[in-house]
Amino acid sequence: MAKTIQVCDQKIQKDVKAGTLKAATYPVAGLEAVCAGLALALNPDDYLVSTYRNLGDVIAKGVPLSPVIAEIAGRATGVAKGKGGAMHIADSAYGLMTTTGIVGSGLPIAAGLALSSLLAGDGKITAVTFGDGATSIGAFHEAMNLAAVWKLPILFVCQNNQWAEHTPTGDHMVITEIASKAKGYGMESATTDGFDPVATLEVLRRATESIRNGGGPFFVEAVTYRLSGHTSTADYSYMPKENLDAARGAEPVGKLRELLESSAVLSKERLEEIDGQALADVEDAFAFAYASDYPDPREAFTDVFSTKTMEISA
């Protein structure tokens, strides 16, 4: 899963820079362990709300890769018929309820989904991912407060890559230990090294177990580092070279591979098979996307308003 995310992310960046893929995309390098760990901690039918930097969350949640790449490429075979693009991927069949292009806007949506589960008693958890910059947005605090007051079954996951677009965390907030913000709402929280796949999975599983046992909302801060520009083509010369080099040397996919091989969980040959399968799956998905047609212009007038009606009893 983590390897597929990495290979797919690299392919997207390569094709965007080459002009083969014309899309606004946001690299997820450095987030692979957090995305994969979250998916493993959740049940398949749990809800997930993500951001515009969503590729890792989308793949990990199990949405088929071919329609995801087709959506990013703006093709009719995409999950949203090519009309949503990279920032607006959703597939409720896999519990991926929405991804949003507005910073912080997913948090109140997630609170609403969690409230629906609480009222229905369906036992589902809603997880919502967001970056460090989103924790300074009003919607963040509104969602946190409601979740705490109503004891919603919601998991807040801050994917702290230490950069809010071009601004380092310490330049836009005094308290850089973001998990501590949850204390103001009486919410249980934990911080983990997002580059450590095992530690991250353990924290996320502890969080989901607490929520399922009636503990109310839980906040997890996964500290990572953004390993490229804000977008696939953005300049990132402003990032300190020494910090970036150190982060790239500790990136989670390579660390996981070393751990699996050194502990004899998987052989080198099996790991190479996994690498090959990830590469083949990604190449197949891109071939499918590029061979697909663009949406018919008349599609601009469909899916705008719901045709369903709702009866409300007095």
Kindly report, residue by residue over 158-203, the tens digit of the pLDDT.
999 999 999 999 998 898 899 999 999 999 999 999 999 999 999 9
Q: What is the pTM of this model?
A: 0.94
Q: How far is CA 26 from the centre of its chain?
A: 11
If one counts every other C-beta atom within 10 angstroms of the C-beta of residue 88, the result is 16
Kindly report, residue by residue over 242-261, the tens digit of the pLDDT: 999 999 999 999 999 999 98
CA dihedral 255, 260, 266, 267 (to 10 degrees): 60
Q: Are 170 and 163 in contact (CB under 8 A)?
A: no
Kindly report, residue by residue over 8-38, the tens digit of the pLDDT: 999 999 999 999 999 999 999 999 999 999 9
Give 267's DSSP letter.
Answer: -
